[in-house]
Amino acid sequence: MAGEAVLAIGAGIAARSVLLTAFGLDSVIELLSGITLLWRLWSERRGSTRVETVERRATVISAALLVLLTAYLVLVGLYGTATRLHPSGSALGVAVSAAAVLAMPILAWRKRRANVLIGSAALRADIAETITCAYMAAATLAGTALNLLFGLWWAEYAAALALLVFIVMETREALEAARGGGEN
């Protein structure tokens, strides 16, 4: 995940690509969510009596990270579209997103299997972020490949904006889990 973040953000900055940079930031969010989840699980393992408090905080942090990603995509995507900022094609961006398209669904599936035993709202929010990463990888792959192969620079913005529908749904689900409204 750290490698994915560094490569995607680096490729995004080099190509002036909102989509690739957002994909890299999503990887950073996924890392922070994982660290938050480890904090929650570590608290439970050492027998803390505050597991519910830690669970709630971990879930809120995961939900907040998704809200920040949504805001980034909206603001930067609209700015790039309005200013007609043309991202360059990026073979590295295509490769990184293609690898994530393959890896993220497997990771989400394994997390869901683990959560059957754990029943953690924080892990549910983390799974939502992993699924978001998988969809974001697919959108990034489509947008960056169309730009690289055919020079369709606007495809990256279209992919980023179209992705918002899914991210908003996942964010809503994570916020419900943070409020205690989700089921285990």
Tens of pLDDT along 66-76? 788 888 888 88
| CATH pick for 2-178 out of 1.20.1510, 3.40.50, 1.10.3470, 1.10.10 | 1.20.1510
Sequence letter at residue 168: V
pLDDT band at 31 (very low <50, low <70, confident <90, very high): confident
Task: Please give the pLDDT value at position 166.
Answer: 75
What number is the average pLDDT over the span 88-103?
96
Residue-level pLDDT at 145? 97
Please give the model's pTM, rounded to 2 decimal places. 0.81
pLDDT at 183 over 60: no
Mean pLDDT calculated for residue range 105-118: 93
Helix (H) or strand (E) holding 26: helix 18-45
Among 48-52, 108-112, 120-124, which stretch is predicted with the lowest mean pLDDT? 48-52
Model confidence at 168, in pLDDT bands (50, 70, 90)?
confident
| Domain ranges, ordered by start, for the chain | 2-178
| Residue 163 vs residues 7, 101, 155: alpha-carbon distances, Å | 21, 14, 12
The confidence band for 132, taking pLDDT boundaries of 50, 70 and 90, is: confident
CA end-to-end span of the chain, whole Å?
Answer: 26
User: What is the DSSP annotation of 68-92?
Assistant: HHHHHHHHHHHHHHHHT--PPP-HH
**For range 82-102, the mean pLDDT:** 94
Q: Given this model, what pLDDT does residue 184 score?
A: 46
Most distant CA pair in the chain, distance: 57
Percent of the chain past pLDDT 90, that is, above it, reads 37
Residues 66/117, Cβ–Cβ less than 8 Å: no
Structure tokens at 82: 């309005």
Contacts of residues 102-108 at CB distance under 8 Å and 24 or more positions apart, as own/partner, are 104/130, 104/131, 104/133, 104/134, 104/137, 105/134, 108/134
Average pLDDT, the chain: 85
Distance CA 62, CA 53 (A): 14
| pLDDT band (50, 70, 90) for residue 181 | low
Length of the chain, please? 184
Distance from chain centroid for Cα 180 = 22
pLDDT above 70 (res 182): no
The helix, strand and coil proportions of the chain, stated in percent and rounded to the nearest 5, come to 85, 0, 15
